[in-house]
Structure 1
Amino acid sequence: MSFYEERRADQAARAEQKRLTAQHGEELRAARQRESDQRAARLRDQARADRQADRLDRQQRRRERAERRREVLTPAEIYRRGTLAVVTSSGLASLPAQVIHFVGISPMLLPLPLAIEGLAWVMAAGVAYADARHLPAWVRWLLRSLIAAFAGFAAFINYGYGLSLVHHGLSAEDAQTVGRGLAAVTLLGPIAFEIRQWVSTLAASIEGVDADRREHARRRRRHHRKVVRIADRLISAAPFGTLDRQTAFERAWTIVRGCPEPGMTPKLYERAAKSAQAMHQARAQQPDQPPTGTARKEPERVAEQSMADLDKSTPAPVDPSGLPEPAAELIPDRPKVDLVKHVDAPAALVESIRSAPIEPARAAAAEGPRSRRVTGKVPAAARSKQQRRTPEQLLDQARSATADWSIEELTAERIRKAIRCAPEKARPLRDTLRAERADGGGEPPAAEAA
């Protein structure tokens, strides 16, 4: 490679490196710009969320203040707080005059006005406590009499103090007006408190019944709008005062739902009928279920105990159809169960399930006939009259039945089924026939004769 070519290659490499450096710087600036934009967007979103949260917080505080105002400005709250304000102002207006009167006599009498005024208010609180605890009426009237005594004595003191202001430069009329005002203010506080307590007790006694009645009417109107609408029309159509609301609602329920009993609908009626029918079917399907703890042990199946090819046989099950008529009657059998008859009317089915007592399955089983087990030997008259076959006869029948069998087919089970004998008799026959086949070369006698 010549000098010029190397210089051109170096220049191209430097230019490529410069381009890559510029590209990398541009990518770094773009990345920093994206990060800056993302940071600014997050800050804007955060500021927007903060402003939204502040706005929601202000709205929530505004709603809470409005709710508190609504709670405070209710008639009951105004009456309660107004009564407390009147009571407080009454005490503040009547107490100084009593203090000045008794302290002017002697400083040692300072606790006397506090005791008189305090006893009046303590007795008023006692009346409220007696109403809350539903104490006898004589307790409340005794406390009221004590309130009247203490409040009257304080009013008399304040009236006398007002008349004594004549010596302080007031005219007789002004002094008498001041005395009457002080006496009225002294009596105003206990009277207002007692009236408030009386109104609260009366409202609580009335509200307990009316609130439940209003709540019931509100739920009825919300749950049964169509029925209530028709009931209102029936009331408006009838002469005034001749149709009460409950009777109108019952008539409207019969018109809308088709049932004279309020609350019952066709769907509920159908559901009750299905439930009653399912209960009767469940009782009928399990009449002979044994009680808990006294379950009978079911006999094991013969096929699971032993087969004819085993060394030890098991007695074959007794077939009642093969026995004579007297013996068949002694075989225990399961009681038959009558199926539940179909009830056309759902009302009759509902009434039947209401009248039928719900008892366990063993009570239902006791109502049906119980099966009797054989407790002794079968009498001679009930025994089978079938003639017994001798071993020689059984062997002849087995030879005839197995004449064309191979030695592998000679099994006790096949022999028992072929000549209809017991398993304990089929096994000796199997062994005898196999021995004869072994002596005769393993071929059946019929084949040898042929």
Structure 2
Amino acid sequence: MSYYEEQRADRAAKAEQKRLSAQHGEELRAARQQEADARTARLRDQARADRKTDRLERQQRRRERAERRREVLTPGEIYRRGTLAVVTASGLASLPAQILHFVSISPLLLPLPLAIEGLAWVMAAGVAYADARRLPAWVRWLLRSLIAGFAGFAAFINYGYGLSLVHHGLSAEDAQTVGRGLAAVTLLGPIAFEIRQWVSTLAASIEGVDADRHEHSRRRRRHHRKVVRVADRLISAAPFGDLDRQSAFERAWSIVRGCPEPGMTPALHKRAAKSAKAMQEARAKQPDQPPTEAAPKGPGRAAEQSMADLDKSTPTPADQSGLPEPVSESIPDRPKVDLVKRTVTPAAPVESIRSTPIEPVLTAAAEAPRPRRVTGKVPTAARSKQPKRTPEQLLEEARSATVDWSIEELTAERIRKAIRCAPEKARPLRDTLRAERADQADPTPSEGAAA
């Protein structure tokens, strides 16, 4: 390589080195700028987050201050704090006049106004303590009389001190005004404190009590004075806590009204029977009118049964409970003596009267001589006992009654009507008879092999 070529190579190398140095410097400047931008972005985000945090804290402090203001500015809190402020102002206004009055007589009498004013407020605190402990009323009235005595004596002293200011350059009218003001402010503090205590006690007595329950108790006492009086005597006669008020009221109602259900009286039972009779007579004039309440129809054959089938005279749970059974239009064919006997059963509650069609029974009872009214529960020994059939007897009767029935005709309703039993007893009989018919229709494998 010649000298010139070496020179050109050196210059090219230097230029390349310079370019690389400039590129590296540019990259360093770009990296430093990127770091600065990132640091600036972080600082900006941090400042934004700090401002947001400060804003949230200020909002929280404002909410807390508003909440405190709401708690402080409630009517009850304003009344309580306002009363304490009035009491404090009353004491600050009345005590100096009493001190000046007694000290002007003798310095040794300095404790006397403090004792008079202090006794008045101690008695006022005693009234609050008596209310909190629920002490007898005479204790509170004794303390109130002592408050009135001490406060009245202090007011008399202040009034006299106000009149004595005539000798200090005041006119007679001004001195009398000052005396009246001192006497009034002396009485104002104890009176305001006593009114506050009375309001607080009255509010605490009704706090947490259900208004509807309180109104119900008040109406009960106003509408049923005799029953409530007997209930109070039953509660006082029983050991403490053994008889609650509701049980005592129910027992007192049975004693006074002759009915175990509260609210029902002989007059209401008579009115219900009269209304039922009127309804039956109205329906008798329109024999083709369907009944107002229809029994719910289920799927299958039960949906195809008519109301006439359901109205047939069959034993139902109502018969077992002593209530008159539902009867159909064919009931007048029965002897009236049986219907009259049914009327001497115990009176049913109002719900049973509404849900059970007893109009024909009441009609027959109206035609027959009126029996003696039942005023309470009929004793168990006086009730007519019906023979109860065992499950085996019911099954035998069901087998005899359904011997020529097909398996599709074996329904609980037909079995109930056939043997005159309750629905809850007819359903097991239906299942048993169907199972027996199924066993007879499908012989066992051994019987099939023998055949």
Interval of TM-score (by shorter of Structure 1 and Structure 2): 0.3 to 0.5
**What TM-score do you get using the length of structure 2 for normalisation?**
0.45
**What TM-score do you get using the length of structure 1 for normalisation?**
0.45
Larger radius of gyration: 1
